[in-house]
Amino acid sequence: MIANLERARPPTSLMADVCGMLRPKCGGVMVVFQGYFDESGSFEESDRKVFCIAGYYLTPENAIEMEREWMAALSKYGVTYFHMVECVNRKERGDFFNKPAKECDDLARELFALIKRYTNEGLAVIAHGDYFDKEVNPYVRCAELAVVLIQSLMESHQIDGVASVYFEKGHDSQRSAMSKIAAALPENVSVTFAGKKAVPLLQAADMLAWLVAKKTKDPGRDRGDMRALLEHKHTFALAVAVV
C-alpha cells in the first residue's frame, strides 16, 4: 500500500494510530526516509553532485517515545521543527534565523542522542554524479533501493512483521517513485509520503541525509557532527546507474 498524506493530523495522533496498527504484528518496524540533493536538484549542473535518501528504522514503541522526547527538545530550544541546513546556517528565515550557534549545537547534540537511544539502525542510499547517468532519475532509483534495503534488513534480522515506511512528500519525482515502488511492493511493507510536521521523525532522517550528502561530496573534511552520528550503527548503499 502506498499513501500520500496530504492533510497533516496532529503528529502524536498519527504516530499513535500507525503504531497501534503495527503493535499487534510481531516485530513491526517504523521507517522514515528523507531525500536530499546537495546544492541543487540536477546532476547536469556540476560533476560533483550528490543525492542521498536516508533514514532510520525503529520499533513502533520506540517511535512513540522518540517523537515525544523529540518534540520536547524542540520546545526546550524554542523551535517548532528541526531542519539541518537551517540549524547549520542560521541565516534562512525560519525558527533558526539568527539563533545563537551554541543553542543550535546543543539542540543537535540532544537530537543525536535520541537517534542513538531509540533507533535500531540508520540507512542511506547515495547517488553520486560520477557513477550515475543523467538520464536516470536519482530520486526514483534511490527511493526504490531504500525500500529494497529495508526489506533485506528485515530478512537478515529475522523481523517477521510489517514495515511502515515514510518518505517526505513534495519532491518533483514523487509520483514516479510511487509508481516504481508500487510495482514491487510486498504485502508486509506500506509506503506513505508525508510532511515533516505530520511525521516529526522525518526530521531525524533529514539530519542523516544532509550529513551523508555533505560527507560524500567532501570526504576529506572531518565533521564532528558526522562522527558523533556514526557512533550509531548505519548501513550505506551506493546507487549506480549506467545507460
189 — phi, psi (to 5°)? -125, 125
pLDDT at 149: 87
Q: Residue 7: which pLDDT band, with cuts at 50, 70 and 90?
A: very low
* Sequence-separated (6 or more) residues with CB below 8 Å from residue 62: 118, 119
**Most confidently predicted of 1-10, 28-37, 115-124, 150-159:** 115-124
Distance (Å, whole) CA 216 – CA 131: 13
Instruction: Look over the chain and give the mean of its residue pLDDT values, rounded to a whole number.
Output: 81
pLDDT at 79: 94
pLDDT at position 13 over 50: no
Question: Mind listing the domains of the chain with CATH numbers?
Answer: 2-62+120-241 (3.30.420)
pTM: 0.83
pLDDT in tens, 38-73: 433 455 555 558 888 999 989 888 999 999 999 999
pLDDT at position 204 over 50: yes
pLDDT at 223: 87
pLDDT at 138: 87
Per-residue pLDDT, averaged over 127-133, amounts to 83
Q: What percent of the chain has pLDDT over 90?
A: 32
Q: Residue 243: which pLDDT band, with cuts at 50, 70 and 90?
A: low
Please state, as a whole number, how many other Cβ atoms lie within 10 Å of the Cβ of residue 199.
26
pLDDT at position 37 over 70: no
pLDDT at position 20 over 50: no
19 SS3 class: helix
pLDDT at 2: 41
- Of 212, 232, 243, the closest CA to residue 84 belongs to 212
* Sequence-separated (6 or more) residues with CB below 8 Å from residue 85: 92, 210
Q: Which residue has the higher pLDDT, 130 or 20?
A: 130
Q: Which residue has the higher pLDDT, 30 or 119?
A: 119
pLDDT at 125: 92
Per-residue pLDDT, averaged over 110-134, amounts to 90
Cα 117 off chain centre by:
17
Please state, as a whole number, how many other Cβ atoms lie within 10 Å of the Cβ of residue 144.
19
Q: Which residue has the higher pLDDT, 150 or 102?
A: 102
pLDDT at position 122 over 70: yes
pLDDT at position 94 over 50: yes
